[in-house]
């Protein structure tokens, strides 16, 4: 059974249980926030070198199909670490989740002015202008064509529900994100 979910158009690791007992135990681990999850993502602009966002997330009061920072929502905590900057226009960051709310990373990063590249729901694309260099304008143009949100579930760590051993899984960025990074270097 599916233990957790990824947003549509998010790549990377997911956890699936093979037995009902494993499913129950793994689901409990997610509920208790004992599963470590790290994501890599490309965002607009340059955030601080590291930080965290502790803002509750719930349904948007203006658009029921979207999530938003909502004081009536559930606790949501996202930690980030800046990995690489591309001409002060785009940044590669790592996010570690303490909680797991619907669209959490996308909502949190957008709320601090660093929406994900390709995020059609929460994203805000910077406009090109004459003050930007041709390199910066080129980076914006390349990123505008990315066909999904640049969000990748990179690592999962948890204690095996049956054998009580710590397991760690890691997967490389998918080719589409690697290609985008190579095109904006």
Q: How far apart are CA 113 and CA 46, in angstroms?
A: 9
7 is catalytic: yes
Choice among 7, 9, 176, 179 that is catalytic: 7
In the 3-class helix/strand/coil scheme, how is 5-39 assigned residue by residue?
CCCCCCEECCCECCCHHHHHHHHHHHHCCCCEEEE
Between CA 16 and CA 48, with CA 55 as vertex, the angle to 5 degrees is 95
**Tokens representing 135?**
């390199």
Are 80 and 125 within 8 A, CB to CB? no
- How many residues are given for the chain? 185
Catalytic site residues?
Answer: 7
């Amino acid at each position: 059974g599916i233990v957790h979910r990824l947003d549509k158009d998010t790549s990377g690791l997911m956890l699936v249980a093979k037995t009902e007992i494993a499913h129950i135990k793994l689901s409990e681990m997610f509920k208790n926030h004992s599963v470590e999850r790290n994501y890599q993502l490309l965002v607009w602009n340059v955030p601080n070198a590291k930080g965290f966002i502790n803002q509750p997330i719930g349904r948007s009061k203006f658009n029921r199909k979207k999530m938003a920072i909502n004081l009536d929502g559930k606790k949501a905590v996202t930690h980030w670490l800046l990995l690489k900057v591309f001409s002060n226009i785009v940044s590669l960051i790592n996010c570690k989740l303490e909680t797991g709310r619907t669209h959490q990373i996308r909502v949190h990063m957008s709320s601090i002015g660093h929406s994900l590249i390709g995020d059609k729901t929460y994203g805000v694309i910077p406009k090109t202008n004459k003050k930007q260099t041709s390199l910066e304008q080129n980076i914006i143009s390349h990123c505008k064509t990315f066909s999904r949100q640049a969000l990748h579930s990179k690592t999962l760590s948890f204690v095996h529900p049956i054998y009580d051993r710590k397991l760690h899984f890691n997967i490389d960025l998918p080719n589409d994100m690697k290609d985008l990074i190579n095109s904006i270097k």
